[in-house]
Amino acid sequence: QWLRNPGPQHEKRTLFGDMVCFLFITPLATISGWLCLRGAVDHLHFSSRLEAVGLIALTVALFTIYLFWTLVSFRYHCRLYNEWRRSNQRVILLAPRAAAAAPPAPPGLRPAKRNSKETIV
């Protein structure tokens, strides 16, 4: 219902854009991190520790920024949804039919006699 709501289209475009970015950036960040770590391992074998430490730091920075962006984006869209949900509550009241059984008697009172055709469900 939130996506079909004819409300502000900016929020839906932002959600769609963030989903596209997430689908594009997730494999890109994973492959980039893997390549950086592979490069760091290769540099350690060739005894160039400074380049290896630099690549490991780059990998940590890459994943930190990726996780931060993901968290901020997720929290933003959750906040928008919760605001929409608070202001667009839809309550459907289902009233019992007239032929249904009578409501239960208050405590301390005996229930009224029933016809033989009525049953308690």
**pLDDT at 42 > cutoff 60:** yes
HSE-CB of 71 using CA atoms within 13 angstroms: 6
The domain segmentation of the chain, as residue ranges, is 9-88
C-alpha–C-alpha distance, residues 84 and 73, integer Å: 17
What are 104-114's pLDDT values in tens digits?
Answer: 666 666 655 55
Q: Identify the pLDDT of residue 23.
A: 94
Write the CB contacts of 102 (distance below 8 Å, at least 6 apart in sequence).
Answer: 112
Q: Over 60: is that where the pLDDT of 115 sits?
A: no
- Give the tokens for residue 64: 């930190």
DSSP letter for 102, please: P
The most confident of the ranges 11-20, 29-38, 108-117 is 29-38
What pLDDT shows up at residue 60?
93
Which tens digits make up the pLDDT trace of 85-95?
Answer: 888 777 788 88
Q: How far is CA 54 from CA 37, 42, 49, 57, 86, in A?
A: 10, 13, 8, 5, 48
